[in-house]
Amino acid sequence: MSKQNVVLLAGGVGGAKLAEGLAALNKRVNLTVIGNVADDDEFHGLWVSPDIDTLTYSLADLIDRDKGWGLKEDPCNALSMLTSLGQDTWMNLGDKDFGLHIFRTLKRLKGERPQVIAAEIGRSLGVDATLVLPTDDVIQTRVKTAQGWISFQEYFVRERCQPTVLALEIAGIDKAQPTPESLAAIAEADVIVIAPSNPLVSINPILSVVGIREALQMRKVPAVAVSPFIGGKTVKGPADKMMQAMGFDPSGPGVATYYDGLIDALLIDSGDSQESEALEALGIMVGTADTLMQSLADKAQVAESVIDLAERCDFTLSPENLSSGERALA
Ligand code: GDP
Ligand code: CA
Protein backbone atom coordinates (compact mmCIF):
# COMPACT_ATOMS: atom_id res chain seq x y z
CA MET A 1 0.00 0.00 0.00
CA SER A 2 1.42 3.39 -0.93
CA LYS A 3 1.72 6.05 1.73
CA GLN A 4 -0.97 8.65 2.21
CA ASN A 5 -0.08 12.33 2.12
CA VAL A 6 -1.49 13.66 5.37
CA VAL A 7 -1.54 17.43 5.91
CA LEU A 8 -2.01 18.50 9.51
CA LEU A 9 -3.01 22.03 10.53
CA ALA A 10 -1.59 22.56 13.99
CA GLY A 11 -0.88 24.96 16.82
CA GLY A 12 1.59 24.21 19.60
CA VAL A 13 0.98 21.70 22.37
CA GLY A 14 -2.28 20.07 21.15
CA GLY A 15 -1.03 20.19 17.58
CA ALA A 16 2.31 18.62 18.42
CA LYS A 17 0.66 15.68 20.19
CA LEU A 18 -1.27 14.66 17.08
CA ALA A 19 1.74 15.46 14.88
CA GLU A 20 3.78 12.97 16.88
CA GLY A 21 1.00 10.38 16.62
CA LEU A 22 0.80 10.76 12.84
CA ALA A 23 4.60 10.72 12.56
CA ALA A 24 4.56 7.37 14.39
CA LEU A 25 2.45 5.95 11.52
CA ASN A 26 5.29 6.62 9.08
CA LYS A 27 4.82 3.28 7.34
CA ARG A 28 1.43 4.51 6.11
CA VAL A 29 1.66 8.27 6.40
CA ASN A 30 3.75 10.96 4.72
CA LEU A 31 3.27 13.85 7.13
CA THR A 32 3.29 17.57 6.35
CA VAL A 33 2.50 19.94 9.22
CA ILE A 34 1.26 23.47 8.54
CA GLY A 35 1.94 25.26 11.83
CA ASN A 36 0.60 28.46 13.35
CA VAL A 37 2.84 31.52 13.17
CA ALA A 38 0.44 34.08 14.67
CA ASP A 39 1.92 33.57 18.17
CA ASP A 40 5.33 34.72 16.91
CA ASP A 41 6.91 37.69 18.63
CA GLU A 42 10.21 39.42 19.27
CA PHE A 43 11.96 38.97 22.62
CA HIS A 44 15.38 40.48 23.44
CA GLY A 45 15.87 41.29 19.76
CA LEU A 46 15.21 37.69 18.69
CA TRP A 47 12.34 36.27 16.64
CA VAL A 48 10.51 33.57 18.60
CA SER A 49 8.01 31.23 16.95
CA PRO A 50 6.45 29.30 19.85
CA ASP A 51 4.12 26.95 17.98
CA ILE A 52 6.63 26.08 15.27
CA ASP A 53 9.25 25.42 17.96
CA THR A 54 6.87 23.20 19.97
CA LEU A 55 6.13 21.20 16.81
CA THR A 56 9.82 20.98 15.91
CA TYR A 57 11.04 20.03 19.39
CA SER A 58 8.25 17.45 19.77
CA LEU A 59 8.87 15.79 16.41
CA ALA A 60 12.63 15.82 17.12
CA ASP A 61 12.00 14.25 20.56
CA LEU A 62 13.81 17.15 22.20
CA ILE A 63 10.74 18.57 23.96
CA ASP A 64 10.43 18.86 27.72
CA ARG A 65 7.75 16.18 28.14
CA ASP A 66 6.62 17.43 31.55
CA LYS A 67 5.83 20.95 30.36
CA GLY A 68 4.90 20.04 26.77
CA TRP A 69 6.97 22.98 25.46
CA GLY A 70 10.61 24.09 25.61
CA LEU A 71 13.63 21.82 25.41
CA LYS A 72 14.44 19.14 27.95
CA GLU A 73 17.54 19.79 30.05
CA ASP A 74 17.63 23.45 29.13
CA PRO A 75 18.53 25.77 32.02
CA CYS A 76 17.69 29.48 31.89
CA ASN A 77 21.08 31.12 32.51
CA ALA A 78 20.79 33.59 29.65
CA LEU A 79 17.34 34.59 30.89
CA SER A 80 18.53 35.07 34.47
CA MET A 81 21.32 37.35 33.19
CA LEU A 82 18.69 39.39 31.36
CA THR A 83 16.69 39.55 34.60
CA SER A 84 19.79 40.84 36.43
CA LEU A 85 20.12 43.48 33.75
CA GLY A 86 16.60 44.67 34.43
CA GLN A 87 14.88 43.19 31.38
CA ASP A 88 11.31 41.91 31.34
CA THR A 89 11.70 38.13 31.39
CA TRP A 90 8.18 36.74 31.74
CA MET A 91 8.60 34.83 28.46
CA ASN A 92 10.39 31.60 29.40
CA LEU A 93 13.32 30.91 27.12
CA GLY A 94 15.95 28.29 27.86
CA ASP A 95 19.63 28.56 26.91
CA LYS A 96 19.56 26.09 24.00
CA ASP A 97 16.25 27.58 22.96
CA PHE A 98 18.01 30.97 22.77
CA GLY A 99 20.51 29.39 20.37
CA LEU A 100 17.70 28.47 18.01
CA HIS A 101 16.20 31.95 18.19
CA ILE A 102 19.60 33.49 17.40
CA PHE A 103 19.90 31.21 14.35
CA ARG A 104 16.39 32.06 13.14
CA THR A 105 16.88 35.78 13.66
CA LEU A 106 20.25 35.85 11.84
CA LYS A 107 18.76 34.02 8.86
CA ARG A 108 15.78 36.38 8.79
CA LEU A 109 18.10 39.38 8.92
CA LYS A 110 19.92 37.93 5.90
CA GLY A 111 16.60 37.90 4.08
CA GLU A 112 15.98 34.16 4.02
CA ARG A 113 12.36 33.09 3.80
CA PRO A 114 10.91 32.06 7.19
CA GLN A 115 9.54 28.92 5.49
CA VAL A 116 13.01 27.90 4.33
CA ILE A 117 14.47 28.62 7.78
CA ALA A 118 11.78 26.54 9.55
CA ALA A 119 12.30 23.61 7.18
CA GLU A 120 16.09 23.81 7.64
CA ILE A 121 15.77 23.84 11.44
CA GLY A 122 13.47 20.79 11.26
CA ARG A 123 15.90 18.89 9.06
CA SER A 124 18.93 19.82 11.18
CA LEU A 125 17.22 18.62 14.36
CA GLY A 126 16.17 15.33 12.77
CA VAL A 127 12.47 15.91 12.07
CA ASP A 128 11.19 13.51 9.39
CA ALA A 129 7.89 15.30 8.79
CA THR A 130 7.81 18.31 6.48
CA LEU A 131 7.29 21.56 8.39
CA VAL A 132 5.45 24.24 6.48
CA LEU A 133 4.55 27.81 7.40
CA PRO A 134 1.21 29.13 6.14
CA THR A 135 2.86 32.46 5.27
CA ASP A 136 6.30 34.08 5.25
CA ASP A 137 4.72 37.35 6.33
CA VAL A 138 4.37 38.51 9.92
CA ILE A 139 0.89 37.87 11.31
CA GLN A 140 0.17 38.30 15.01
CA THR A 141 -2.89 37.51 17.10
CA ARG A 142 -3.95 40.48 19.27
CA VAL A 143 -6.27 40.06 22.23
CA LYS A 144 -8.66 42.75 23.45
CA THR A 145 -9.13 42.79 27.23
CA ALA A 146 -10.67 45.33 29.59
CA GLN A 147 -7.20 46.97 29.70
CA GLY A 148 -7.05 47.30 25.90
CA TRP A 149 -5.28 45.34 23.15
CA ILE A 150 -2.31 43.16 24.09
CA SER A 151 -0.17 40.70 22.15
CA PHE A 152 -1.00 37.01 22.29
CA GLN A 153 2.09 36.14 24.36
CA GLU A 154 1.29 38.95 26.82
CA TYR A 155 -2.19 37.45 27.24
CA PHE A 156 -1.03 33.81 27.30
CA VAL A 157 2.22 33.92 29.26
CA ARG A 158 2.44 37.22 31.13
CA GLU A 159 -1.27 37.43 32.07
CA ARG A 160 -1.68 33.61 32.29
CA CYS A 161 -4.94 33.75 30.25
CA GLN A 162 -6.69 35.45 33.18
CA PRO A 163 -8.27 38.52 31.49
CA THR A 164 -11.64 38.05 29.80
CA VAL A 165 -11.21 38.03 26.02
CA LEU A 166 -13.42 40.70 24.44
CA ALA A 167 -12.19 40.40 20.87
CA LEU A 168 -9.44 38.85 18.77
CA GLU A 169 -7.73 40.15 15.68
CA ILE A 170 -4.83 39.05 13.52
CA ALA A 171 -2.53 41.98 12.78
CA GLY A 172 -1.02 41.79 9.29
CA ILE A 173 -3.47 39.22 7.94
CA ASP A 174 -4.76 41.50 5.17
CA LYS A 175 -1.36 41.66 3.52
CA ALA A 176 -0.21 38.09 4.26
CA GLN A 177 0.40 35.86 1.26
CA PRO A 178 0.32 32.06 1.51
CA THR A 179 3.58 30.18 1.00
CA PRO A 180 3.65 28.11 -2.20
CA GLU A 181 4.60 25.16 0.05
CA SER A 182 1.36 25.39 2.05
CA LEU A 183 -0.86 25.56 -1.06
CA ALA A 184 1.07 22.72 -2.70
CA ALA A 185 0.76 20.55 0.42
CA ILE A 186 -3.02 21.05 0.49
CA ALA A 187 -3.32 20.39 -3.26
CA GLU A 188 -1.34 17.13 -2.93
CA ALA A 189 -3.02 15.92 0.26
CA ASP A 190 -4.87 12.60 0.44
CA VAL A 191 -6.22 13.49 3.87
CA ILE A 192 -6.48 16.86 5.64
CA VAL A 193 -6.42 16.83 9.43
CA ILE A 194 -7.11 19.67 11.85
CA ALA A 195 -5.33 19.03 15.16
CA PRO A 196 -7.02 19.41 18.56
CA SER A 197 -5.52 22.89 18.74
CA ASN A 198 -7.18 26.09 19.85
CA PRO A 199 -9.58 26.79 16.95
CA LEU A 200 -9.55 30.56 17.46
CA VAL A 201 -5.89 31.39 17.96
CA SER A 202 -4.02 28.39 16.55
CA ILE A 203 -6.09 27.19 13.57
CA ASN A 204 -7.96 30.34 12.53
CA PRO A 205 -4.78 32.32 11.75
CA ILE A 206 -3.75 29.54 9.32
CA LEU A 207 -7.22 29.48 7.73
CA SER A 208 -7.23 33.27 7.48
CA VAL A 209 -4.20 33.53 5.18
CA VAL A 210 -5.76 34.31 1.82
CA GLY A 211 -6.13 31.20 -0.32
CA ILE A 212 -5.82 28.62 2.44
CA ARG A 213 -9.44 28.49 3.60
CA GLU A 214 -10.52 28.55 -0.06
CA ALA A 215 -8.16 25.67 -0.92
CA LEU A 216 -9.61 23.62 1.94
CA GLN A 217 -13.19 24.41 0.91
CA MET A 218 -12.41 23.21 -2.62
CA ARG A 219 -10.77 19.97 -1.40
CA LYS A 220 -11.52 16.70 -3.12
CA VAL A 221 -10.24 14.60 -0.23
CA PRO A 222 -11.62 14.01 3.27
CA ALA A 223 -10.89 16.44 6.07
CA VAL A 224 -11.04 15.28 9.69
CA ALA A 225 -10.67 17.37 12.85
CA VAL A 226 -9.99 16.20 16.39
CA SER A 227 -11.89 18.08 19.08
CA PRO A 228 -9.68 19.86 21.63
CA PHE A 229 -12.55 19.59 24.13
CA ILE A 230 -13.17 16.66 26.44
CA GLY A 231 -16.32 16.87 28.55
CA GLY A 232 -16.85 20.49 27.46
CA LYS A 233 -13.43 21.59 28.76
CA THR A 234 -9.99 22.09 27.32
CA VAL A 235 -7.27 19.70 28.36
CA LYS A 236 -5.09 22.78 28.89
CA GLY A 237 -5.31 26.44 28.01
CA PRO A 238 -8.05 29.00 27.39
CA ALA A 239 -9.81 27.56 24.30
CA ASP A 240 -13.05 26.76 26.17
CA LYS A 241 -13.45 30.28 27.64
CA MET A 242 -12.41 31.80 24.31
CA MET A 243 -14.93 29.75 22.33
CA GLN A 244 -17.69 30.82 24.72
CA ALA A 245 -16.60 34.47 24.53
CA MET A 246 -16.83 34.28 20.73
CA GLY A 247 -20.28 32.64 20.80
CA PHE A 248 -19.30 29.01 20.17
CA ASP A 249 -19.92 26.06 22.44
CA PRO A 250 -16.72 24.38 23.73
CA SER A 251 -17.89 21.00 22.43
CA GLY A 252 -17.78 18.78 19.35
CA PRO A 253 -20.78 20.53 17.78
CA GLY A 254 -19.21 23.92 18.60
CA VAL A 255 -15.99 22.88 16.83
CA ALA A 256 -17.92 21.52 13.83
CA THR A 257 -19.88 24.77 13.56
CA TYR A 258 -16.67 26.78 13.74
CA TYR A 259 -15.13 24.63 10.96
CA ASP A 260 -18.26 24.76 8.79
CA GLY A 261 -17.44 23.71 5.23
CA LEU A 262 -13.89 22.72 6.17
CA ILE A 263 -14.34 19.25 7.71
CA ASP A 264 -16.23 16.09 6.82
CA ALA A 265 -15.68 14.26 10.08
CA LEU A 266 -14.83 14.96 13.70
CA LEU A 267 -13.11 12.70 16.20
CA ILE A 268 -14.49 13.27 19.69
CA ASP A 269 -13.69 11.69 23.02
CA SER A 270 -15.44 8.40 23.87
CA GLY A 271 -16.91 10.09 26.93
CA ASP A 272 -18.65 12.66 24.69
CA SER A 273 -20.49 10.18 22.44
CA GLN A 274 -23.81 11.86 23.34
CA GLU A 275 -22.65 14.64 20.96
CA SER A 276 -22.92 12.29 17.96
CA GLU A 277 -26.53 13.06 17.16
CA ALA A 278 -25.99 16.82 17.07
CA LEU A 279 -22.89 16.34 14.91
CA GLU A 280 -24.68 14.08 12.46
CA ALA A 281 -27.45 16.67 12.24
CA LEU A 282 -24.71 19.10 11.10
CA GLY A 283 -23.75 16.61 8.37
CA ILE A 284 -20.53 15.64 10.15
CA MET A 285 -19.40 12.05 10.41
CA VAL A 286 -18.40 11.13 13.95
CA GLY A 287 -15.59 8.98 15.29
CA THR A 288 -14.94 8.32 18.95
CA ALA A 289 -11.68 7.45 20.69
CA ASP A 290 -9.93 8.13 23.96
CA THR A 291 -8.56 11.46 22.80
CA LEU A 292 -6.52 12.36 25.88
CA MET A 293 -2.96 11.94 24.61
CA GLN A 294 -0.22 11.39 27.15
CA SER A 295 2.05 8.57 25.97
CA LEU A 296 3.31 8.13 22.42
CA ALA A 297 1.03 5.08 22.23
CA ASP A 298 -1.99 7.32 23.04
CA LYS A 299 -0.93 9.75 20.31
CA ALA A 300 -0.49 6.98 17.72
CA GLN A 301 -3.88 5.54 18.72
CA VAL A 302 -5.63 8.88 18.14
CA ALA A 303 -3.75 9.26 14.83
CA GLU A 304 -4.93 5.75 13.76
CA SER A 305 -8.50 6.70 14.63
CA VAL A 306 -8.18 9.85 12.50
CA ILE A 307 -6.90 7.90 9.49
CA ASP A 308 -9.58 5.22 9.93
CA LEU A 309 -12.25 7.91 10.14
CA ALA A 310 -10.92 9.56 6.96
CA GLU A 311 -11.06 6.20 5.19
CA ARG A 312 -14.66 5.70 6.31
CA CYS A 313 -15.63 9.15 5.02
CA ASP A 314 -17.97 8.71 2.16
CA PHE A 315 -16.44 11.67 0.47
CA THR A 316 -18.49 12.54 -2.55
CA LEU A 317 -18.85 16.08 -3.75
CA SER A 318 -22.61 15.76 -3.98
CA PRO A 319 -24.39 19.12 -3.71
CA GLU A 320 -25.68 18.37 -0.21
CA ASN A 321 -22.11 17.81 0.96
CA LEU A 322 -21.03 21.22 -0.23
CA SER A 323 -20.99 24.25 2.00
CA SER A 324 -22.83 27.31 0.71
CA GLY A 325 -19.50 28.80 -0.41
CA GLU A 326 -18.63 25.73 -2.44
CA ARG A 327 -22.08 25.60 -3.95
CA ALA A 328 -21.66 29.17 -5.12
CA LEU A 329 -18.35 28.20 -6.73
CA ALA A 330 -19.59 24.90 -8.22
P1 GDP B 1 -0.80 25.93 22.04
O2 GDP B 1 -0.50 26.62 20.75
O3 GDP B 1 0.44 25.43 22.72
O4 GDP B 1 -1.73 26.68 22.91
O5 GDP B 1 -1.51 24.59 21.66
P6 GDP B 1 -2.63 24.20 20.61
O7 GDP B 1 -3.45 25.37 20.17
O8 GDP B 1 -2.04 23.33 19.57
O9 GDP B 1 -3.48 23.26 21.53
C10 GDP B 1 -4.21 23.72 22.62
C11 GDP B 1 -5.41 22.84 22.75
O12 GDP B 1 -4.98 21.49 22.78
C13 GDP B 1 -6.21 23.04 24.00
O14 GDP B 1 -7.47 23.53 23.64
C15 GDP B 1 -6.31 21.65 24.61
O16 GDP B 1 -7.61 21.32 25.03
C17 GDP B 1 -5.92 20.75 23.47
N18 GDP B 1 -5.27 19.53 23.93
C19 GDP B 1 -4.09 19.45 24.58
N20 GDP B 1 -3.82 18.16 24.86
C21 GDP B 1 -4.85 17.43 24.34
C22 GDP B 1 -5.14 16.03 24.31
O23 GDP B 1 -4.38 15.21 24.80
N24 GDP B 1 -6.29 15.66 23.69
C25 GDP B 1 -7.17 16.56 23.14
N26 GDP B 1 -8.29 16.11 22.56
N27 GDP B 1 -6.91 17.89 23.15
C28 GDP B 1 -5.77 18.31 23.75
CA1 CA C 1 0.17 28.65 20.35
The mean predicted confidence, pLDDT, of the chain is 95
Does the C-beta of 13 come closer than 6 Å to ligand 1? yes
Mutation probe of ligand 1 site: the residue of 13, 22, 291, 294 with most atoms within 8 A of C-beta: 13
Which domains are present in the chain? 4-143+170-321 (3.40.50.10680)
Distance 117 CA to ligand 1 centre (A): 25
Mutation probe of ligand 1 site: the residue of 8, 9, 17 with most atoms within 8 A of C-beta: 17
Mean pLDDT of 300-319: 84
Mean pLDDT of 83-111: 98
Tens digit of pLDDT for each residue in 246-271? 999 999 999 999 999 999 999 999 99
Q: Give this prediction's pTM.
A: 0.95
Tens digit of pLDDT for each residue in 187-204? 999 999 999 999 999 999
Mean pLDDT of 67-76: 95
Q: What is the 3-state secondary structure (H, E, C) of the chain?
A: CCCEEEEEEECCHHHHHHHHHHHCCCCCEEEEEEECCCCCEEECCEEECHHHHHHHHHHCCCECCCCCCCECCCCCHHHHHHHHCCCCCCCCCCHHHHHHHHHHHHHHHCCCCHHHHHHHHHHHCCCCCEEECCECCCCEEEEEECCEEEEHHHHHHHCCCCCCCCEEEEECHHHCCECHHHHHHHHCCCEEEECCCCHHHHHHHHHCCCCHHHHHHCCCCCEEEECCEECCEECCCCHHHHHHHCCCCCCHHHHHHHCCCCCCEEEEEHHHHHHHHHHHHCCCEEEEECCCCCCHHHHHHHHHHHHHHHHHCCCCCCHHHCCHHHHHHC
Question: What's the pLDDT band for 2 if we cut at 50, 70, 90?
Answer: confident
Distance 11 CA to ligand 2 centre (A): 5
Give the pLDDT score at 272.
98
Does residue 316 have a pLDDT over 60? no
Mean pLDDT of 78-94: 97
Give the pLDDT score at 318.
47
Does residue 328 have a pLDDT over 60? no
Give the pLDDT score at 319.
45
Does residue 315 have a pLDDT over 70? no
Mean pLDDT of 274-299: 98
What residues contact 4, with CB distance under 8 A and at least 6 apart?
Answer: 28, 29, 30, 190, 191, 307
Give the pLDDT score at 327.
45
Q: Which of 155-159, 297-301, 322-326 has the lowest mean pLDDT?
A: 322-326
Q: Closest ligand 1 atom to the C-alpha of 237?
A: 13
Integer-rounded Cα Rg, in Å, for the chain is 19
Tens digit of pLDDT for each residue in 141-179? 999 999 999 999 999 999 999 999 999 999 999 999 999
In the chain, the amino acid numbered 121 is I
